[in-house]
């Protein structure tokens, strides 16, 4: 039996097909793979941050950079990782209620006041991320920490406040106290969150009877304020009238005063003139004054004047009435 030797691949003796070039084919595949890898790496080397975000860049698990809005470069193949955080967005926490009605938070809203009354208080809290690195790596669940902290401080403040203040006019003071307390503790915790605002959405007693009683109290307070405002309005309307009347009385008094002063001056002038006349002719002036006084005192009595001189035997009586009438006629 004849030994036959086969070789693969067969030589191209010019009569058959050409010999395949596997070396060249392998190089082509390698180049294609490298091109795809480079393309994929290039696609993962860039990332975009919008204007509401900041991005935390880690290199081999260590924080190396925090970038703002824009397009940025990072090392591929997992060498650098990017975590985007919404830092310019106000986020909310609802305590005691749910705006979408998805949960029943009655246990969160029930509290005891400083005078041992039970009330239901609903709070709306706004916060934002202030430090993205601390937010991502300082705690496992910063939102839960903030919620528990707010609940604790709310109960502390409500627990030291009277029920009247919680249900009526003390809400603003409660909000300010809670905000200040939580903000101070957040600074110590350093969880990357900042408290923006705390608002009381609603506060009411747990039973219908107490609700109606407090509504009656609130209505009475509003009515009292209305009465006070009406009284102030009446006061403001009456004060100008009273001031005008007072000015009128003062002016009238000034007029009467001046009138009396003028009358007194006139009487002084008359007395001074009369005294001057009396000084020149005392007897005649005295007699005239006497006759005028008699006439004024006894207007209806007929009087006669004895004109005889002292020691004369002849007496002459002159009727004063005729003299006065004659004088009046003249």
Say whether pLDDT at 6 is over 50: no
- Give the range among 110-114, 189-193, 207-211 with minimum mean pLDDT: 207-211
Q: Which residue has the tokens 């030589």?
A: 11
Query: Higher pLDDT residue, 69 or 41?
Result: 69
Say whether pLDDT at 309 is over 60: no
Say whether pLDDT at 310 is over 70: no
Say whether pLDDT at 26 is over 80: no
Confidence of residue 301 (pLDDT cuts 50, 70, 90): low
Peptide bond into 33 cis (omega under 30): no
Query: Higher pLDDT residue, 87 or 39?
Result: 87
| φ, ψ at 192 (rounded to 5°) | 80, 10
Handedness of CA 172, 173, 179, 182 (dihedral sign): negative
The partner residues of 193 in beta bridges, in order of sequence, read: 129
Q: What distance in Å separates the CA atoms of residue 64 and residue 74, rounded to the nearest whole number?
A: 11
Confidence of residue 142 (pLDDT cuts 50, 70, 90): very high
What does the pLDDT average to over 174-191? 92
Say whether pLDDT at 12 is over 60: no
Query: Higher pLDDT residue, 189 or 4?
Result: 189
**Tokens read off for 229:** 């405002």
pLDDT at residue number 2? 47
| φ, ψ at 135 (rounded to 5°) | -60, -40
What's the chain's average pLDDT? Answer: 80
Say whether pLDDT at 320 is over 70: no
Q: Please, where are the H alpha helices in 131-281?
A: 132-137, 142-158, 163-167, 171-189, 208-280
Tell me which residue of 155, 49, 140, 150 sits closest to 91, measured CA to CA.
150
CB neighbours of residue 315 within 10 Å: 9
Confidence of residue 305 (pLDDT cuts 50, 70, 90): low
What does the pLDDT average to over 202-230? 81
């Amino acid at each position: 039996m004849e030994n036959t030797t086969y070789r693969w691949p067969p030589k191209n003796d010019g009569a058959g097909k050409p010999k395949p070039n596997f070396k060249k084919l392998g190089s082509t595949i390698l180049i294609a793979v490298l091109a795809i890898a480079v393309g994929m790496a290039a696609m993962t080397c860039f990332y975009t941050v919008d204007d509401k975000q900041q991005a935390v860049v880690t290199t081999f698990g260590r924080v190396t950079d925090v970038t703002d809005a824009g397009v940025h470069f990072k090392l591929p193949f997992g060498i650098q990782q990017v975590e985007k955080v919404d830092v310019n967005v106000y986020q909310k926490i609802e305590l005691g209620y749910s705006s979408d009605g998805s949960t029943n938070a009655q246990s969160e809203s029930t509290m005891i006041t400083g005078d041992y009354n039970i009330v239901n208080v609903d709070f709306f809290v706004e916060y934002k991320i202030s430090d993205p690195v601390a937010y991502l790596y300082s705690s496992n669940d910063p939102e839960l920490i903030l919620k528990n902290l707010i609940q604790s401080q709310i109960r502390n403040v409500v627990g030291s406040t009277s029920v009247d203040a919680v249900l009526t006019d003390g809400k603003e003071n409660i909000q300010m106290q809670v905000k200040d307390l939580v903000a101070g503790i957040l600074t110590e915790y350093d969880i990357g969150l900042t408290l923006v605002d705390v608002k009381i959405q609603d506060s009411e007693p747990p039973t219908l009877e107490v609700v109606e009683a407090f509504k009656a109290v609130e209505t009475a307070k509003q009515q009292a304020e209305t009465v006070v405002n009406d009284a102030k309005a009446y006061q403001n309307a009456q004060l100008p009238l009273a001031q005008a009347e007072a000015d009128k009385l003062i002016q009238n008094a000034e007029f009467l005063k001046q009138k009396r002063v003028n009358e007194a001056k006139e009487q002084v002038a008359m007395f001074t003139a009369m005294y001057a006349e009396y000084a020149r002719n005392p007897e005649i002036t005295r007699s005239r004054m006497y006759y005028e006084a008699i006439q004024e005192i006894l207007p209806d009595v007929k009087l006669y004047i004895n004109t005889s001189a002292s020691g004369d035997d002849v007496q002459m009586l002159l009727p004063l009435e005729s003299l006065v009438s004659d004088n009046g006629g003249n």
